[in-house]
Amino acid sequence: MADVPTIHDVRAAAERLEGEVHRTPVMTSQAIDAIVGMKLYFKCENLQRVGAFKFRGATNAVRSLADAEAARGVVTHSSGNHAQALALAAARRGIPAWVVMPTNAPAVKRRAVEGYGATVVPCEPTLAARESTADRVQAETGATFIHPYDDPRVIAGQGTAALELMADVLGLDAVVAPVGGGGLCSGTCIAVHGLNPNVAVYGAEPERANDAQRSLEAGHLIPVGAADTIADGLRTSLSERTFGILRAHVAGIVSVSEAEILHALRVVLERLKLVIEPSAAVPLAACARLHPALAGKRVGVILSGGNVDWDALPQLLASAT
Amino acid sequence: MADVPTIHDVRAAAERLEGEVHRTPVMTSQAIDAIVGMKLYFKCENLQRVGAFKFRGATNAVRSLADAEAARGVVTHSSGNHAQALALAAARRGIPAWVVMPTNAPAVKRRAVEGYGATVVPCEPTLAARESTADRVQAETGATFIHPYDDPRVIAGQGTAALELMADVLGLDAVVAPVGGGGLCSGTCIAVHGLNPNVAVYGAEPERANDAQRSLEAGHLIPVGAADTIADGLRTSLSERTFGILRAHVAGIVSVSEAEILHALRVVLERLKLVIEPSAAVPLAACARLHPALAGKRVGVILSGGNVDWDALPQLLASAT
């Protein structure tokens, strides 16, 4: 596979994923359409295994490995949905997985990864410690490192969500995907434009982690520092690879405020009756900003995940009203 | 239609409802199955129009009226999901609706009913005032009174949810439905046993509003007083009609504590990623109590609604942990 996956890689991923990932439903709401002034189609990756689209990319990476390579296992550093996704993908192939996680990660996240049968390797909470620890695990075990987003197999896997969306909803005018490290949005671009170059793809990110917007405006990569946004899945920065894909494909990057994210989150909870995590509310918040450009249009919205911290969410929602 | 509907009435309701109500999905969760020790099939009436099964019964009642009768409109007294359901059902038939609501009902509920085009008629917050006000509206307008549950048309309509569940999931061993006034549970009994008398139907209610359990044990109707349970949709008591149906059909009534309801609610939010109201969590809480009788069995669970008070739920969830 080349450095940048193509629609053929996304299609190959879709075949590899059959029977492994849920074909998630697409939901609609007349009430939300009336609020936003568009016809919205929500791709429910919150209902995906492990509660997020991340299971697609992780599964494609794990299932792409040759048997001998796979037998030595996989390793990553993450305390988010990718960690759980890789753990389950490895377990389903019957191979070991190591997840490097900072010692200050919440115990509930560590237990979730261990619950899927992976080994958590603790490290100091710095990027250098994460990387050196992952290197050490690789050296000791021969495991393959699977990056959360800067990996063509992962990007192709994430693209399968948009592939299904495009097959299930004909005549879409646009698709909006959240942007953190850019894996999902890159895969979405490749899938959507591989099927129909006339469908506009927008990236959506928090104002407080708007590295994609700033990088595209500047024409070169500008990583964010420690981003303090409730959309905790979108705090990471693009890689050169995902930056290149987004630059070639997106019609625009829309950044939204914390208040807009919370408002969109509440609309989904109240109207769609679906539990989504704050990161997954960012594309809907962006839709409101894309009016009037998309007024009356048919717009696909990727609800990326549903792993909510129920100990924290209540205060967030209360603060939003 | 007779005083007690039959499976034929439920089938006729299903035909009447076609194109009007959503055929809601049935969802499953391996994680919840592992927790409860059964194979559970969740019928998602939280995704129904107006966010609750109530739209089925209200629509069947409204669509059962002859044209001349319908033209004079419908009236009910309710501040819950039935009020919104009747308002929308009337609007969709293009007839007027009046909803008698106590002056102390939350403004958000009044606005929701008005949002569907119905007229809210305020009354003093007593049962006597509710009934006399509804009588007055009937006398003045000629509108037909549609009771929230003590009405064969409403009961037959509610039964269509179980009819769909039985068609979509073959080989169910049991179905568990919540019990408030008994409309949903009565319709479920008639639908399930009309298709297969060997499937056990259980009613589930809060311990704090366990009139169905006590009435069945005593062999006569024992209404509850002012029930203080978070399952606000289940505070009402059976009527003679629904008591009779339940007595003839149910394998048992399971009552659960407030803590069990909150725990089940949290399991659905976290694992199924669905927003449900506390009343809708009661059947899942009951399933845990039905182990070991139903261990390993295929059990249908009716998730009755998803209209959550997001200003109150956070504190509730926090208190449950």
Residue A304 with chain B: CB contacts under 8 Å: none
CA distance, residue A141 to nearest chain B CA (Å): 31
CB contact under 8 A, A269 and B321: no
Q: What is the mean pLDDT of residues A243-260?
A: 98
β-bridge mates for residue B174, sequence order: B200, B299
Residue B53 with chain A: CB contacts under 8 Å: none
CB contact under 8 A, A273 and B306: yes
Return d(Cα B122, Cα B102) in angstroms, integer.
6
Residue A42 and residue A112 in contact, taking contact as beta carbons nearer than 8 Å: no
Is the minimum CB–CB distance between A30 and chain B shorter than 8 Å? no
Dump pLDDT digits (tens) for B152-180.
Answer: 999 999 999 999 999 999 999 999 999 99
Is the minimum CB–CB distance between B276 and chain A shorter than 8 Å? yes
In a domain? residue A289: yes
Question: Has this prediction a pTM greater than 0.80?
Answer: yes
What's the confidence (pLDDT) of residue A153? 98
CB contact under 8 A, B47 and A273: yes
Dump pLDDT digits (tens) for B3-16.
Answer: 999 999 999 999 99
CA distance, residue A244 to nearest chain B CA (Å): 34
Return d(Cα B113, Cα B294) in angstroms, integer.
40
B84 and B212 share one domain: no
Q: What is the mean pLDDT of residues B197-210?
A: 97
Q: What is the mean pLDDT of residues A104-121?
A: 91
Single out the residue in B110, B145, B180 at which a domain terminates: B145
B163 and B182 share one domain: yes
CB contact under 8 A, A275 and B276: no
Dump pLDDT digits (tens) for A25-79.
Answer: 999 999 999 999 999 999 999 999 999 999 999 999 999 999 999 999 999 998 8
Residue A81 with chain B: CB contacts under 8 Å: none
Total count of domains within chain A = 2
Is the minimum CB–CB distance between A225 and chain B shorter than 8 Å? no
Q: Which CATH number do you get for residue B103?
A: 3.40.50.1100
A178 and A61 share one domain: no
Is the minimum CB–CB distance between A29 and chain B shorter than 8 Å? no
Residue A306 with chain B: CB contacts under 8 Å: 273
Is the minimum CB–CB distance between A310 and chain B shorter than 8 Å? yes
A279 and A302 share one domain: yes
A117 and A258 share one domain: no
Alpha helical stretches, state H, chain B: 7-17, 30-36, 54-64, 67-71, 81-93, 107-115, 127-141, 152-168, 183-195, 211-218, 240-249, 258-267, 278-290, 313-320
What's the confidence (pLDDT) of residue A188? 98
What's the confidence (pLDDT) of residue A108? 83
B163 and B293 share one domain: yes
Q: Output the DSSP codes for B147-201.
A: -SSSSHHHHHHHHHHHHHHHHHSTT-SEEEEE-SSSHHHHHHHHHHHHH-TTSEE
In the numeric block, the tokens 């894309």 are attached to A290
Query: In one letter, which amino acid is A66?
Result: A
Pick from B289, B321, B84, B299: which is nearest to B172 by CA?
B299
Nearest CB neighbour to B314, from listed A46, A47, A317: A317
In a domain? residue B37: yes
Return d(Cα B165, Cα B301) in angstroms, integer.
9
In a domain? residue A229: yes
The two beta strands, B26-27 and B39-44, are antiparallel
More confident of the two residues A174 and A318: A174
In a domain? residue A165: yes
A73 and A216 share one domain: no
A156 and A36 share one domain: yes
What's the confidence (pLDDT) of residue A309? 84
Confidence class of residue A105 from pLDDT cuts 50, 70 and 90?
confident
Residue B304 with chain A: CB contacts under 8 Å: none
User: Which residue from A minimizes the CA distance to B313?
Assistant: A314
CB contact under 8 A, A308 and B269: yes
What's the confidence (pLDDT) of residue B320? 67
Return d(Cα B237, Cα B235) in angstroms, integer.
7
A192 and A303 share one domain: yes
What's the confidence (pLDDT) of residue A106? 83
Q: Which of B31-40, B110-119, B220-229 has the lowest mean pLDDT?
A: B220-229
Q: Output the DSSP codes for B52-68.
A: BTHHHHHHHHHHHS-HH
Q: What is the mean pLDDT of residues A258-283?
A: 96
CB contact under 8 A, B270 and A314: no
In a domain? residue B275: yes
In a domain? residue A2: no
Q: What is the mean pLDDT of residues A203-231?
A: 94
Which of residues 234 through 273 in chain A touch B, CB cutoff 8 A? 266, 269-270, 273
Mean of the per-residue pLDDT values of chain B: 95
In a domain? residue B170: yes
What's the confidence (pLDDT) of residue A314? 72
B46 and B170 share one domain: yes
In a domain? residue A274: yes
Single out the residue in B145, B166, B200 at which a domain terminates: B145
CB contact under 8 A, A270 and B310: yes
User: Which residue from B minimizes the CA distance to A273?
Assistant: B275
CA distance, residue B254 to nearest chain A CA (Å): 27
What's the confidence (pLDDT) of residue B136? 97
Domain of residue B156 covers 7-52+151-320
How many Cβ pairs closer than 8 A exist between chain A and B? Answer: 52
Confidence class of residue B1 from pLDDT cuts 50, 70 and 90?
very low
Nearest CB neighbour to A51, from listed B273, B275, B315: B273
Residue A1 has pLDDT above 60, yes or no: no
Print burial letters for B22-37: b (CB count within 10 Å at least 16), e (below 16).
eebebbebeebbebbb
**What is the predicted ipTM?**
0.91
Pick from A140, B271, A127, A151: which is nearest to A119 by CA?
A140
Residue A51 with chain B: CB contacts under 8 Å: 273
Single out the residue in A145, A160, A183 at which a domain terminates: A145
CA distance, residue B221 to nearest chain A CA (Å): 35
CA distance, residue A92 to nearest chain B CA (Å): 14
B30 and B141 share one domain: no
Confidence class of residue A227 from pLDDT cuts 50, 70 and 90?
confident
Nearest CB neighbour to B270, from listed A47, A310, A315: A310
B165 and B260 share one domain: yes
Instruction: Provide φ and ψ at A269, rounded to 5°.
Output: -60, -45
